Structure 1
């Protein structure tokens, strides 16, 4: 009976373990989450290409890029991971549009939410104007 109970508890814990929590990135990384309804959406491809065009800028600003679909997610930049079960789409997507991009700051708060392609110029300008980023830049100068 005890073994059965342990197996049941492990079985119940597996889905939550595979669903990556955004809180694990807090104070370590800024996040761009790209929400789409399909893996191969045109908007996702455009957004990916825009972000991929400046990998150095992404790394310098401690950015991780996550692609979220209904029921699953994966990190796509700087390193691509496998799809994981997730309810991120249901919990964080804020609009009815089929494409949405959000920026989550180091503190875990949503700093930007939009339904158009986010340019690196706008993204980096916004991040570079934030107090924590300005402190990082001062530290890096010294």
Structure 2
């Protein structure tokens, strides 16, 4: 599923961070709040996997954690599926989309997917040594 449609807008993260992008129509969204709550319970796992959580609304983006930033202008919302008002996209270190879902995702599902990726294997070996 790897696609680089996001890479130009997210160049600053490529090869440094994996990203979980959450697209919503508005800044206040019930599904977003539930998803963030699940992720915040797993911040250590986020850090270990070099993950950042970014919220995207029309025309803007905001990094939610590990550190929250201010809203920035962004054209990323155009990459969201047209038929959903909530979407999660996992972006790999290479800038490609690895996973897309239009409902709340359990953190373990994302962590398991990342842990199965070839670039994650050496990270896990280094951690265990």
TM-score by length of 1: 0.82
Partners of 2:10 and 2:92 lie apart in 1 by 11
* Relative contact order, higher structure (CA 8 A, sep 6+): 2
Size of the aligned set, in residue pairs, is: 122
What's the CA shift string for 1:52-87, capped at 9, x where partnerless?
A: 111000000000000000010110010111111111
2:111 to 124, 131, 139: 124
Larger Rg: 1
Task: Extract unaligned runs of 5+ from structure 1.
Answer: 1-19
Partners of 1:81 and 1:21 lie apart in 2 by 16
1:47 correspondence with 2:35:
yes
CA RMSD of aligned residues (A): 1.2
TM-score by length of 2: 0.90
Q: CA deviation at 1:118?
A: 1.3
Structure whose residues are more often helix by fraction: 1
- Partner in structure 1 of residue 44 of structure 2: 56
Task: Extract unaligned runs of 5+ from structure 2.
Answer: 1-7
Partners of 2:32 and 2:122 lie apart in 1 by 32
Look up the SS of the partner of 2:15 in the other structure.
Answer: coil
Q: CA deviation at 1:123?
A: 0.8
